[in-house]
Structure 1
Amino acid sequence: MKISQLYIYPIKSLRGVSVPQAILTDAGLENDRRFMLLKVKQDGNGNKRLQNMHVPHFTEMCLFLTDVIFPTENTNNGKILITYRPPDAKDDSDSQIKLLEVPMNPDVSGLEELCVTIHQSPTKGYNMGTKYNNWFSECFGYEVVLVYLGPHWRRVLGSFPPGKCQVHCQDMVPVISKSSMVILSLLSLLLNIFGVPMMQRDASMMALPNLAATITVIGLATVTNIYLSRGSRRKEEKITFADTAPYMLVSETSVEEVSSRLAGDEEMDLTKFRPNIVVTGAKAAYEEDFWAELLVGGGARLLMTANCIRCQSVNVDYATGKMGRGESGSVFKKLMKDRRVDKGAKFSPVFGRYGFLDQGCKDVPICVGDEVHVSRIVEERTTYDWPGLTN
């Protein structure tokens, strides 16, 4: 198999950017989902609160196209280019089309800090201010705030992290922690101190009990540490404004199978699945449900931990900014017939696989055309386990 397409989503739930290459980080592809939009809502008393915006609930978000200008070497001049194209725009010269540039890595000094919680995993972000908020608000027709993640990140919950996923946690190599080493040293010292009187009674018998006791302590400390530090080889997993994992992978073979369910010559738009990595060459549709580990390009390793449960976003018509009609609006229903295959989400169809970058692969570049090898599979599908999202 090979990578056929790579996508980043600079602003969550807006249209993505197809890129020829990308940098793997522990929080996802570089520059992926570091911005998001919040709708300003008011209650009857005039109090304002902020609501996360996701494309299945705000379908008009798909009318915003994004592109990127990556920074030149040793500079911070990267930009996100946003184009709002309403459905009745006739051509590129239509006055309804609006353009905006957002700095890829803005200066956050002086910006208001906001709390943002996505699927029960909280973080902080920065309100980008009037210039950007007014532009989006004018396009949407209601008040909107653009938020930048900055140096913050979100925790990965449930059994999604490799260190907690049943498939991978058994492979985590236990490491003796510094605290265990300190305790072990103190115990060994005490044994040697209290062992000294033995010399006065029988010097020939001193070495054996002390050695046995020391070995016993080492064994107990090590065994105890195995249970306490299982999975501690990995640091706490990080995600940006992505839903539940840093990487989303789909197979073209599976996308083609979805297209075969649509009448006429209509084809499934794979970008509606919002993948980061698209692979071609899989022998069977949905075989990725069982992928546990992938080797990508020059040696990057992805640990696959969960299948992606899908929502009505796959029915959105990107041309109209509304839920699709006819075949394009029936994809979710068609998948519901036989793709409810996850025991942790019995009433949601599965499509695509979530993954995490293995340790030691950080900042490795990958490119379209890179080979992809499945280095490990599982016999049974993993079970979706994220607090508050199972059904």
Structure 2
Amino acid sequence: MARIARLTYYPVKACAGVDVPSAEVTSAGLAHDRVFQVITPDSDILTQRPHPVMATVRPRVLGDRLALSAPGREDVVFAIRRDGPRRPVSMSAWDGEGVRQDPQADEWFSDLLGRPAELIGVAPEHHRVTVGEFPGAAAFADGHAVLIASESSLDSLNERIAAGQGEPVPMDRFRPNLVIAGWAEPHREDEARELTAGTAKFGYAEKCVRCTVPMVDQETGEKAGPEPIRTLATYRRDPRGGVVFGMKAAVLRPGQVAVGDEVIVHSWAGPSPSTAAAEPPFTATASRPAESV
């Protein structure tokens, strides 16, 4: 029986996730998932790609307050602004605005990153439609509401990495929201089209093309490449460019999910060609930066 093995939401885009035993699923994904993000004064999005240290930031949603912590730095806690001054933001074929948060947060992130930075949150009127086989909505995730990966996919990848004398990687390198256990074959998430867990229903949007973020150690905030991108490139290349791991999904029916819930797939596609034999070598620099971080 397939079941949910892990649930994680990421309050601040590109920062550490919060593992929870249960979660509300909204039309835009898990509650609190990527509802904040860090930008420059010019509205450019700041992520782990140029700033891997963001992985060490531990955000916590405490009711109407947000707490930020990181190794060697004082915690900062401030009231979440649900409405207020706006900042423009552009991402993944969407142009919109975010609500400026507390100046304490701006100062805290600016000091951490060594450059001017501002923290924004989703605005009350936030409306963002995502595309894919099943369209949906999203907050500040790069492309879609939910990222799903399976334990069997990671096990298969790590077997290949070990065979090449590399060090296995943990699941947090891929920053999924739902981790599924119980599928015997790897990458079954690529083939699921409509699935339910708890009282929520999800629909396949597309396979997740990975950028270089999986080469960042999520505990230390340091680049630890070339794995897993190097090994994924031998058997998980995508026709669009880059390598794939995990499936992006839209929320078809909001609800509640919990660790241990059975995952029921109501419709499948045919076998994914990306699970076939190994392909020619591929360089990590060619990855398309299109994943939810």
TM superposition score normalised by structure 2: 0.86
Q: Following TM superposition, by how much is the alpha carbon of 1:157 offset from its aligned partner in structure 2, in angstroms? A: 4.5
Partner of 1:242: 141
Structure 1 CA distance for aligned equivalents of residues 117 and 10 of structure 2: 19
Partner of 2:234: 337
Structure 2 CA distance for aligned equivalents of residues 18 and 114 of structure 1: 30
3-state SS in 2 of match to 1:81? strand
More helix by share: 1
Equivalent of 1:254, from 146, 153, 168?
A: 153
Equivalent pair of 1:306/1:382 in contact (CA under 8 Å): no
Alignment of 1:270-285 (within 5 A): 270-285=171-186
Partner of 1:310: 210
Equivalent pair of 1:255/1:270 in contact (CA under 8 Å): yes
Does residue 1:53 correspond to 2:46, yes or no? yes
Q: Following TM superposition, by how much is the alpha carbon of 1:161 offset from its aligned partner in structure 2, in angstroms? A: 5.6
Equivalent pair of 1:121/1:154 in contact (CA under 8 Å): no
Partner of 1:153: 126
Unaligned ranges ≥5, structure 2: 275-288
Structure 1 CA distance for aligned equivalents of residues 38 and 194 of structure 2: 33
Q: Which residue identity is paired with 1:138?
A: D
Equivalent pair of 2:16/2:218 in contact (CA under 8 Å): no
Structure 1 CA distance for aligned equivalents of residues 273 and 158 of structure 2: 25
Equivalent pair of 1:156/1:244 in contact (CA under 8 Å): no
Residue 102 to residue 256, structure 1, CA distance change in 2 (3 Å): farther
Residue 245 to residue 382, structure 1, CA distance change in 2 (3 Å): farther
Q: Deviations over 1:10-66 (max 9, x none)?
A: 0000000001111111111111111000124xxxxxxxx232112122211112122
**Percent identity at matched positions?**
26
Does residue 1:162 correspond to 2:134, yes or no? yes
3-state SS in 2 of match to 1:260? helix
Q: Following TM superposition, by how much is the alpha carbon of 1:271 offset from its aligned partner in structure 2, in angstroms? A: 1.3
Q: Following TM superposition, by how much is the alpha carbon of 1:339 offset from its aligned partner in structure 2, in angstroms? A: 0.0
Partner of 1:351: 245
Does residue 1:321 correspond to 2:224, yes or no? no
Does residue 1:301 correspond to 2:201, yes or no? yes
Does residue 1:372 correspond to 2:263, yes or no? yes
Q: Following TM superposition, by how much is the alpha carbon of 1:145 offset from its aligned partner in structure 2, in angstroms? A: 0.4
Structure 2 CA distance for aligned equivalents of residues 102 and 4 of structure 1: 32
Residue 267 to residue 67, structure 1, CA distance change in 2 (3 Å): farther
Residue 23 to residue 157, structure 1, CA distance change in 2 (3 Å): closer
Partner of 1:98: 74
Between Structure 1 and Structure 2, how many residues are aligned? 274
Q: Which residue identity is paired with 2:202?
A: L
Equivalent pair of 2:130/2:138 in contact (CA under 8 Å): no
Structure 1 CA distance for aligned equivalents of residues 256 and 61 of structure 2: 17
Structure 2 CA distance for aligned equivalents of residues 51 and 356 of structure 1: 25
Does residue 1:68 correspond to 2:61, yes or no? yes
Partner of 1:135: 108
3-state SS in 2 of match to 1:61? helix
Equivalent pair of 1:2/1:281 in contact (CA under 8 Å): yes
Structure 1 CA distance for aligned equivalents of residues 130 and 55 of structure 2: 28
Equivalent pair of 1:239/1:246 in contact (CA under 8 Å): yes
Q: Following TM superposition, by how much is the alpha carbon of 1:140 offset from its aligned partner in structure 2, in angstroms? A: 1.8
Partner of 2:95: 122
Larger Cα-atom Rg: 1
Does residue 1:113 correspond to 2:10, yes or no? no
Equivalent pair of 1:317/1:323 in contact (CA under 8 Å): yes
Q: Following TM superposition, by how much is the alpha carbon of 1:249 offset from its aligned partner in structure 2, in angstroms? A: 0.5
Structure 1 CA distance for aligned equivalents of residues 263 and 70 of structure 2: 35
Unaligned ranges ≥5, structure 1: 41-48, 72-77, 86-95, 164-236
Residue 122 to residue 283, structure 1, CA distance change in 2 (3 Å): same
More strand by share: 2
